[in-house]
Chain A
Amino acid sequence: AQSVTQPDIHITVSEGASLELRCNYSYGATPYLFWYVQSPGQGLQLLLKYFSGDTLVQGIKGFEAEFKRSQSSFNLRKPSVHWSDAAEYFCAVGARIGYSTLTFGKGTMLLVSP
């Protein structure tokens, strides 16, 4: 069965500083990988996704993520954080075979300090 681990429950970053959110997955093959963001009281919005090809993927709002097969990781990065980035971030894995339901990690809450 597939699983996702987000080791950091909370992260605080100063506005303008760089950000990296960690995500590790467990899957028998190369999975489909996603990052979603959830603002308070809102649904999930897709930031970016990885299916194949270039392991560095660009997303919306200036985010990028890098797939590293050897580390089973798909970390999310942003070079300069804005106060509006404060939200909860979820990494998710989807299967390549059959119905591709998503398995989410428990999320990382990003706090941005002035």
Chain B
Amino acid sequence: DAMVIQNPRYQVTQFGKPVTLSCSQTLNHNVMYWYQQKSSQAPKLLFHYYDKDFNNEADTPDNFQSRRPNTSFCFLDIRSPGLGDAAMYLCATSLGAAGTDTQYFGPGTRLTVL
């Protein structure tokens, strides 16, 4: 089945130690998104790629970076995680970026910062 895969499902890191979260997709979608979801809150869009075009949300901290080396993979890098970055990180994809393009979500990576 075509799907969105996130690895690892659970990640523990230390305060200030860089961490990378991975997302891959078999849907061959053009757009990939990263959301941050803190406990009992709405998912918040951090950034997205349309093909190789990177689109950063205005309020996304510089501490968060992303890479998309090819269509299938997208990475979220947190350069110096703080305690406030502990959250569920959701990857999503869509065929296009029009409003009618449904976003398909992966299962998420739960990040713990010690």
Residues of A near any B CB (own CB < 8 A): 4, 9, 31-32, 34, 36, 41-46, 49, 51, 90, 94-96, 99-102, 104-107
> A90-B42, A90-B43, A99-B55 in contact; A43/B4 too (CB < 8 A)?
yes
* Residue contacts A-B, CB under 8 angstroms, 8 given: A31-B99, A41-B107, A43-B107, A44-B92, A46-B103, A94-B99, A100-B97, A100-B100
A94 to B96, CA, bound (A): 13
A34 to B40, CA, bound (A): 19
Residues of B near any A CB (own CB < 8 A): 4, 6, 33, 40-45, 48, 50, 55, 57, 90, 92, 97-108, 110
| CB atoms of A44 and B41 under 8 A apart | no
Identify A43's interface contact among B48, B50, B98, B108, CB under 8 A.
Answer: B108
> A43-B90, A43-B106, A99-B55 in contact; A104/B43 too (CB < 8 A)?
yes
| CB atoms of A104 and B42 under 8 A apart | yes
A28 to B99, CA, bound (A): 15
Chain B residue with Cβ nearest A88: B40
Q: List residues of chain B with CB within 8 A of the CB of A51.
A: 99-100
| CB atoms of A101 and B48 under 8 A apart | yes
Chain A residue with Cβ nearest B4: A43
| CB atoms of A102 and B103 under 8 A apart | yes
A100 to B48, CA, bound (A): 11
| CB atoms of A45 and B105 under 8 A apart | yes
| CB atoms of A102 and B90 under 8 A apart | no
Chain A residue with Cβ nearest B31: A99
A105 to B44, CA, bound (A): 10
Identify A46's interface contact among B33, B50, B100, B102, CB under 8 A.
Answer: B102
| CB atoms of A95 and B42 under 8 A apart | no
Identify A100's interface contact among B44, B98, B104, B106, CB under 8 A.
Answer: B98
Other A-B contacts than A43-B106, A104-B44, 20 sampled, CB-CB below 8 A, are: A32-B100, A34-B102, A41-B110, A42-B108, A43-B92, A43-B107, A45-B105, A51-B100, A90-B42, A94-B99, A100-B97, A100-B98, A100-B100, A101-B45, A101-B57, A102-B45, A102-B103, A105-B42, A106-B40, A107-B40
